Structure 1
Amino acid sequence: MPDPTADPTAGHEPELLTITEAADVLRAPVATLRYWRHLGTGPTSFRLGRRVLYRRADLRTWIDAQADRAPSR
């Protein structure tokens, strides 16, 4: 029987990603994410204190939207 006091997110991917972690997921330079953030064209991000964070689900949604916009070959 699972331990009810155990952290339910233990062993899973984190929900919130730093800009460096998001860049790794997207395989893009951090500078590119900063530029997209400046233009307002990249994945949804937000500030928590001084940190810029991305929700993993928002990255996936943005990736899917980019794939849908790409011309099919």
Structure 2
Amino acid sequence: MSTTREQPDPRATLRGGLPDRYLTADDIATIFKVPKETVYQWRRKRTGPAGFRIGKHIRYDPADVRAYVTQRKNADQDAA
């Protein structure tokens, strides 16, 4: 009798607390617990995590989001 375990969907695997897939503006709003409009304002002002366009859709690379958080944390530590 084979005890084959189903492998989890690799797109659902978490690395560093973030999904292993490109993130949407909704995902960013949920992660940072801010309104979706805030995410769009960050993009217009170029103050939030770097995003990129796929057609008419905005996507965020989880590595860029992690880098943004690290940068913000380091900036706050330097200011203290």
| TM-score normalized by the length of structure 1 | 0.77
Tell me the residue number matched to 1:37: 43
Larger RCO (CA under 8 A, 6+ residues apart): 1
Counterpart residue number, 1:26:
32
Unpaired runs of 5+ in structure 2? Answer: 1-6, 14-18
* Percent identity between the two aligned chains: 25
Residues matched between the structures, number = 67
Instruction: Name the CA distance, whole Å, in 1 between partners of 2:30 and 2:48.
Output: 14
In terms of fraction of residues, the more helix-rich structure is 2
Deviation at 1:15, TM superposition (A): 2.0
The normalised TM-score by structure 2 is: 0.71
The correspondence for 2:72, drawn from 32, 45, 66, is 66
**Max Rg structure:** 2
Q: Secondary structure at the match of 1:17?
A: coil
Between stretches 36-45 and 25-34, larger displacement belongs to: 25-34
Contact 2:11–2:21 under 8 Å retained in 1: no
Q: Give RMSD over aligned pairs.
A: 1.9
